[in-house]
Amino acid sequence: MVEKSAEFSRQIQTMFGLVAPRYDFLNRLLSLGLDRTWRKVSVDTIAPTPNERFLDLATGTADVALEIASRRAKGVRVFGLDFSLPMLERAQKKIRGAGRCDTIILQAGSGEVLPFPDDCFDGLTCAFGIRNFADVRRGLEEMRRVLKPGGRVVILEFSMPRRGPLGDLYRWYFDRVLPSVGRWVSGHPDAYKYLPRSVAAFPSRKEFMNAMREAGFCSIRPRTLTLGVVTIFWATPSSVESNS
Q: What is the mean pLDDT of the chain?
A: 90
What are the pLDDT digits (tens) for 75-86? 999 999 999 999
Could you tell me which residues are beta bridge partners of residue 81?
A: 57, 107
pLDDT range class, residue 1, cuts 50, 70, 90: low
Q: What are phi and psi of 86, to 5 degrees?
A: -60, -35
Which burial class, exposed, middle or buried, applies to 184 when counting CB atoms under 10 A from its CB (0-12, 13-18, 19+)?
A: exposed
- At the topology level, CATH places domain 6-21+32-159+204-237 in Rossmann fold (3.40.50)
Q: Is the pLDDT of residue 146 over 70?
A: yes
Who contacts 227 (Cβ-Cβ below 8 Å, separation ≥6)? 161, 166, 167, 170
Could you tell me which residues are beta bridge partners of residue 56?
A: 80, 125
Query: Running DSSP on this structure, what letter comes out for residue 130?
Result: G
The residue ranges of DSSP E strands in 53-146, in sequence order, are 53-57, 77-82, 104-108, 121-127
Rounded Cα distance between 3 and 182, Å, is 27
What are the pLDDT digits (tens) for 46-82? 999 999 999 999 999 999 999 999 998 999 999 999 9
216: alpha, beta or left, given left = phi > 0 and alpha = psi -120 to 50?
left
